[in-house]
Structure 1
Amino acid sequence: MDRNAGNVAVAPPMPDILPPVRPRGGFLGYLRRNPTIAIGGGLVLAMVCVAIFAPFLFTRDPTALAPALRTREPSAQFWFGSDMLGRDVYSRVLYGTRVSLTVGFSVAILASVIGLTIGLVSGFIRVADTIIMRCMDGLMSIPPILLAIALMALTRGSVQNVIIAITIAEIPRVSRLVRGVVLSLREQPYVDAAVASGTRTPRIIIRHILPNTLAPLTVQATYICASAMITEAILSFIGAGTPPIIPSWGNIMAEGRALWQVKPYIVFFPAIFLSITVLAVNLLGDGLRDSLDPRMAKRV
């Protein structure tokens, strides 16, 4: 110890054990730490803007026929060329963004909400688990695309029916995921304490179980969104999805497959837009998984 002139003991300064806290930088700092979320989210936002502002992006009526201008190569008049009926492929592709995003987002939301409810009930209430999950296992035994085709065969082609058919096919995946999370959470000490204190089951589920399922559910919703857009394109491509009059990417590719060898651009441009959109949603899902899962986190 050092002693000053007044003979008073003064302790030396303690060394800094912990590193200085660095400012997080807010939302921009979060994006810099998670470039996958930034890239995926940016591409998804760009596609949403294309869908919203399609009428203002130098497009024409996507259903207008011009037989005298059919199968024109990409040029200043037709940026993506024209199809066999003279319709502008550029306009049809941009308007098709609305169909794919509507189907993808709608299926992701509906399947997540319904699957979350089923998973919470079956995972926490043992009596209902056996009955509910056997039904989910039966649905999961059928490939989602075949189940969607079978459901569409029972109804007429429309965007609403496509959303319902794909949602039914995706619900078992969400319910199984949520059930697995709930099975591990209901054995935690804080859940046992809530049960011992007399807390009702609905309150335990909403207050203690539900918040811990939102992170994996959010990641799963992004994958369902991407899968739903691919399934919608497949259904439309084989004629079991949206009506041909609706400009969807699957319909555009289905109409251009007969001329693929001589006019590949009719199929090429909607396929590129579909691939970019699915890639963007998957990148966003991967980034959210790495950010929300503490085991995948790079920084603590």
Structure 2
Amino acid sequence: MSATTHDNVRVVEAPALPAILPTPKQRGRVAGFIYRHPTIFVGAVLVGIMILIAILAPYLGTRDPTALAPARRTREPSALYWFGTDMLGRDVYSRVIYGSRVSLVVGFAVALCASAVGTFFGLIAGFVRRLDSVVMRIMDGLMSIPSLLLAIALMALTRASVQNVIIAISVTEFPRVCRLVRGVVLSLREQPYVEAAIASGTRTPLIIWRHILPNTLAPLMVQATFIAASAMITEAILSFIGAGTPPTIPSWGNIMAEGRALWQVKPYIVFFPAIFLSVTVLAVNLLGDGLRDALDPRLAKRL
């Protein structure tokens, strides 16, 4: 404690309080974002690794995934064959690495197609009152059929190919996007800025493009990640039961389908593609959970 004199008035200064709270750590933008949203970081890193594996598949010590070698069939994992060989002598490691391309392409393509189509019909149903009941009854009819059964039925009407798998799964997923977007639009069209745009004579397409669509992107991004993960699982199921991609195309579902007959004696044929599928789906789900937490304003205030 110290004392000073100003104009014959003695002023006593209180002692400085000790620093009880630690000095907050200064973090950069990237480090701060990772600290606040670790699930986004982990999910994005895992997804990025899987994408790099798919792109760099020819340079990761792989062989021709379709090359037959009956003399080297059902060999155990070793330094020469990292994941072993299947009943036709094909390298399981090469087939799993190349199979990541099919799953990632199907997952991302279905997420893009289902989101685009679902958003279009959701905007129409939510903003145009006369078409709301018609569009939503059609969506309810599609959603009343189990997704997997509908995909199997659609694949039964066409030939097996990656493109038809994408179309079949997209048909089963876009009604959910439509319902989500419609719900968001119903709450947005009552906002004052939308009513002001309508009162000023702005055309409906312009209102949807400027005021409605941008506000649906946040929940749409989260939904798209879950659609991508669901599409990967559905593609694997379709291929596993013989209704998906052709057997000549290496995919995780095809590899597991071919190895199920030898599961009890050669489990590695099914184990490795199942691990890759599980990690990829987990990564996409982590990314979706992180985006949901980051884009939700109610949760953002707590972080």
Same fold (TM over 0.5): yes
Tell me the residue number matched to 2:15. none
Structure 1 residue identity aligned to 2:293: D
Distance in 1 between residues matched to 2:245 and 2:301, nearest whole Å: 43
CA shift, 1:203, in A, is 0.9
Distance in 1 between residues matched to 2:262 and 2:42, nearest whole Å: 35
- Superposed, 1:50-129 pairs within 5 Å as 50-129=53-132
Structure 1 residue identity aligned to 2:232: M
1:85-114, CA deviations, whole angstroms, 9 ceiling, x for partnerless residues? 000000000000000000000000011011
SS at match of 1:295: helix
1:249 equivalent to 2:215? Answer no
- Superposed, 1:1-300 pairs within 5 Å as 25-299=28-302
Question: Where does structure 1 differ by over 6 angstroms across 4 or more consecutive aligned residues?
Answer: 21-24
Per the alignment, do residues 198 and 49 of structure 1 end up closer, same or farther by CA in structure 2, a change over 3 Å counting?
A: same
Distance in 2 between residues matched to 1:97 and 1:110, nearest whole Å: 20
SS at match of 1:37: helix
Distance in 1 between residues matched to 2:129 and 2:34, nearest whole Å: 42
Question: Percent identity over the alignment?
Answer: 76
SS at match of 1:296: helix
Tell me the residue number matched to 1:12. none
CA shift, 1:22, in A, is 9.1
Structure 2 residue identity aligned to 1:207: R
Structure 1 residue identity aligned to 2:225: T
Per the alignment, do residues 24 and 214 of structure 1 end up closer, same or farther by CA in structure 2, a change over 3 Å counting?
A: farther
Distance in 2 between residues matched to 1:82 and 1:298, nearest whole Å: 53
Distance in 2 between residues matched to 1:27 and 1:78, nearest whole Å: 40
CA shift, 1:27, in A, is 3.2
Checking the alignment, whether the CA contact within 8 Å between 1:182 and 1:209 is kept in structure 2 is yes
CA shift, 1:296, in A, is 1.6
Distance in 2 between residues matched to 1:247 and 1:139, nearest whole Å: 31
Distance in 1 between residues matched to 2:65 and 2:174, nearest whole Å: 33
CA shift, 1:299, in A, is 4.5
Distance in 1 between residues matched to 2:27 and 2:187, nearest whole Å: 32
Structure 2 residue identity aligned to 1:86: G
CA shift, 1:192, in A, is 1.0
Structure 2 residue identity aligned to 1:60: R
SS at match of 2:297: coil
Checking the alignment, whether the CA contact within 8 Å between 1:115 and 1:171 is kept in structure 2 is yes
SS at match of 2:299: coil
SS at match of 1:72: coil
Distance in 2 between residues matched to 1:62 and 1:42, nearest whole Å: 26
CA shift, 1:77, in A, is 1.1
Per the alignment, do residues 262 and 294 of structure 1 end up closer, same or farther by CA in structure 2, a change over 3 Å counting?
A: same
Distance in 2 between residues matched to 1:115 and 1:126, nearest whole Å: 17
Distance in 2 between residues matched to 1:295 and 1:230, nearest whole Å: 31
CA shift, 1:31, in A, is 2.1
Bigger shift: residues 179-188 or 278-287: 179-188
Checking the alignment, whether the CA contact within 8 Å between 1:114 and 1:171 is kept in structure 2 is yes
1:139-183, CA deviations, whole angstroms, 9 ceiling, x for partnerless residues? 000111111000000000000000000001101010000000001
Count of residue pairs brought into register by the alignment:
285
Structure 2 residue identity aligned to 1:182: V
Structure 2 residue identity aligned to 1:151: L
- Consecutive unaligned residues of structure 2, counting only runs of 5 or more, are 1-5, 8-23
CA shift, 1:233, in A, is 0.1
Structure 2 residue identity aligned to 1:199: T
Distance in 2 between residues matched to 1:29 and 1:295, nearest whole Å: 19
Bigger shift: residues 226-235 or 125-134: 125-134
